[in-house]
Amino acid sequence: MASTSPVLLAFNSNNNGATLTRPLTVPPKRNFRRRTSLTTRLIKANHPDNALQYRKLGDSDLQISEITLGTMTFGKQNTENEAHAMLCYAFESGINALDTAEVYPVPPSKETQGRTDLYIGSWLKSQPRDKVIVATKVAGYSEQSTYLRQNAKVVRVDTANIKESVENSLKRLNIDYIDLLQIHWPDRYVPLFGEFFYDPSKWRPSVPFVEQLEAFQELIDEGKVRYIGVSNETSYGVMEFVHAAKAGLPKIVSIQNNYSLLVRCHFEIDLVEVCHPNNYNIGLLAYSPLAGGALTGKYLDIDSYAAKKGRFNLFPGYMERYNRSLAKEVTSKYIQLAKEHGLTPVELALGFTRDRSFVTSSIIGATSVDQLKVDIDACLNTKRPLPPEVTSGIEEIFKTYKDPAVR
């Protein structure tokens, strides 16, 4: 695995008591004037009777909506106008955070790289900057995605790569600071995207954790980055970053990892303990809460119109772990459980991640406003928390099948 780019192969404890106020996201060392009339405004928007909740992200002062808008389809499956329509609908609905990455759109390619940021940047021109939490990601180790840098034989998470990445992201996004900068995947070898077990033979030398944090510190001191986080990370990586930060360097506030009904073990085994607010207090941004769309059930009938339009069929081999027979079998069981309790598959899947005490925000992507509306409505309109008979049904399935999508 060391010779391939991981991205080419294929994210809160007791935070549910958040207020329903829409928080400001004013960056440090900037003298933006706060408009106090907005700090306590209830978010009514498109859901007047059931507003989104907001949760503190780790040790930061960011109050982030329980849904973050994922944007990786912008520039591949979505046009700029479609992207803007979804961004507008999301923020009118109370979402206050978006997540992008320098490699987006996905699947990544040299020809489309950065297009997602450009679409977001053109939208941000008409938005009050302090009302949008912009999260982006610097690429991890890659020997194939060298087009991300001007002169690179391999992409690393060292000082030069981090700084070049941030400068380019700021230009594409048309902003002068990033609220949350995350390492997309580690510089060192780790099992990724469906791989579960660590292969000792794939160990390789990596950039020291301290060097990575020192580069982030410089960017924070320059006012270009507010907070930092990790993604696709392990307990070892999280703990090393936290320990390295004790030397006066910035501490990570978030971890963006895969988490859904079909992918639970990797986080629940020990990252839940590591990230607990009484331990290292690191908020989980759960990506793929619908397992790339698999948990909607649309891929169970491969000949259906929805399946043919879906990314699994548009991009052969992409997220194929969710298309395996066992994953499909377990998906069918969750869909049946939802039906038995009067829920849609989306309501069950998003209600599950919404209610987990350690999930700060679920990252939800869509390819249309209609699809996005279904997802937001599912989060808002499904009973909080899911009834005990529903959660017990989920656990019964989980006890038998655990994570059916692992490789």
Residues annotated as part of the active site: 104
Helices (H), 128-186: 159-173
Q: Could you tell me the two tokens for 151?
A: 């002169």
On the 0-12 / 13-18 / 19+ scale of CB atoms within 10 A, 147 is middle
DSSP state of 336: H
CA distances in angstroms from 244 to 159, 228, 248, listed in the order given: 16, 14, 8
Distance CA 342, CA 352 (A): 15
Distance in angstroms (rounded) separating the CA atoms of residues 395 and 361: 22
In 3D space, the residue among 23, 12, 16, 26 whose CA is nearest the CA of residue 64 turns out to be 23
Rounded distance between C-alpha atoms, residue 268 and residue 275, angstroms: 10
CA atoms within 13 A on the CB side of 197: 4
Q: How far apart are CA 120 and CA 93, in angstroms?
A: 17
With a CB cutoff of 8 Å and minimum separation 6, the contacts of 76 are 105, 106, 107, 112, 115
CA distance 100 to 393: 34
Q: How far is the C-alpha of 224 from the C-alpha of 222, rounded, in Å? A: 6
Asked whether the beta carbons of 350 and 375 are under 8 A apart, the reply is: yes
Residue with tokens 């059931």: 50
